[in-house]
Chains A and B, each alone.
Chain A
Amino acid sequence: KQEVTQIPAALSVPEGENLVLNCSFTDSAIYNLQWFRQDPGKGLTSLLLIQSSQREQTSGRLNASLDKSSGRSTLYIAASQPGDSATYLCATSMDSNYQLIWGAGTKLIIKP
């Protein structure tokens, strides 16, 4: 049974720093992996989707990598800004029906 773990659970850094959020999963036979952000009281916003055949995806200051063999994905945020403060969640899908298995999230606070 797939398990997804996100470390750390919370992170607070000064503005401008580059940072890495980690996501690990126990079953490497994933269909894809997605990173989301959730602002307090809001829905989730998809950030990056990495298919099982891909190694990384980039969008603006965000870069997500995928290493299936080690069961890891990282989300790299460059030049962090206070507006990046949110909870970041990763989720894996084992098939095309997208029954996602979720991590518990990393709550990120960027201090001005």
Chain B
Amino acid sequence: NAGVTQTPKFRVLKTGQSMTLLCAQDMNHEYMYWYRQDPGMGLRLIHYSVGEGTTAKGEVPDGYNVSRLKKQNFLLGLESAAPSQTSVYFCASSYSGTATYEQYFGPGTRLTVT
């Protein structure tokens, strides 16, 4: 099992450009999450999904959109990138929404917006 994979690993964008980050999991997990990690701020939840075809906002959703057309994939989109979106983005998945179920994280995507 590959677990949680993320594509791409690195990306540099110019302000105003758009891109999509892809997250895939092969554990048949129902729940998926997108976080951003910034120095001194830990990880903050952007959006999450409780199942195929569903999405919901997290702590910091502005400037991002998501889609979950297939259970195994969770896409994070930036329509018009801004320098404030320079960050490391992590996708995670969980078997259930019950708190005691472990979240499994991908290796991250480092995004720089110039």
Same complex for A and B? Answer: no
Contacts from B to A (Cβ < 8 Å): none
